[in-house]
Amino acid sequence: MRVSVSDIDSFLYWERQEDGDTEALVRRLRRLDPPSEQMLAGTALHKALELAVDGDYTKLEADGYIFTFNFDAVIAIPELREIKAEKAYSIDGRQVLMVGKVDAVEGRRVDDHKSTARFDPDRFVQSYQWRFYLDIFDADHFRWNVFETKELGSKVYLINSVQCLEQWRYPGMREDCEAVLSRFLSFVDVHLPERSRQELEAA
């Protein structure tokens, strides 16, 4: 079974809610919902950063979106960008291929860009995205570059600040990831039987 890192984050978000909307999570895991405006803007910002070269900028553009800067800052983005990788896990006797794509790689550090209206470091630290990325990419150091944005108009955003947040590999991280994957597989067996069937047919 192929599982993306974003699938796991969606599952964990649902799991933490007292009244999680199971139907909404299933739709999301089946890729049935169109991307929201927030997601489209985030994708455009990622693309603009991926294509940016060294230099001074007052604004970035991509996919028809414009992002203007409201501050002076130096953002160091490694040269290796948009790197995809896979890693096999064996969970309860089942094979799972975890798939992840990071925004940049430098040595044993991976970077991920995020855009948000309000910087909430606890939300990022609690996620498992960084843990899986460190494991999949065999890295030790994870860095978020969090862009705080404000929508000014149609496809026009103001970037008010960039926050850097970092985490490191720790003993037992792999086991923590495997425990989450085990719970995810149990959810899939009940709510997404077609994915379980695909797994059995491929065996």
Task: Kindly report, residue by residue over 45-89, the tens digit of the pLDDT.
Answer: 988 888 887 777 788 899 999 999 887 777 777 777 888 999 999
The mean pLDDT of the chain is 90
Query: With 0-12 CB in 10 A as exposed, 13-18 as middle and 19+ as buried, what is 164?
Result: exposed
What is the rounded CA–CA span in Å between residue 141 and residue 14?
A: 27
- Mean pLDDT (whole number) for 5-20: 91
Res 153: pLDDT: 93
Q: Per-residue confidence at 20, pLDDT binned at 50, 70, 90? A: confident
Q: Which amino acid is at 32?
A: L
Q: Which amino acid is at 146?
A: V
Q: Per-residue confidence at 200, pLDDT binned at 50, 70, 90? A: low
Res 199: pLDDT: 63
Whole-prediction pTM:
0.86
Considering the chain, what percentage of its residues have pLDDT values greater than 90? 64
- Mean pLDDT (whole number) for 161-180: 95
Q: Which amino acid is at 170?
A: Y
pLDDT digits (tens, 9 = 90+) for 130-146: 999 999 999 999 999 99
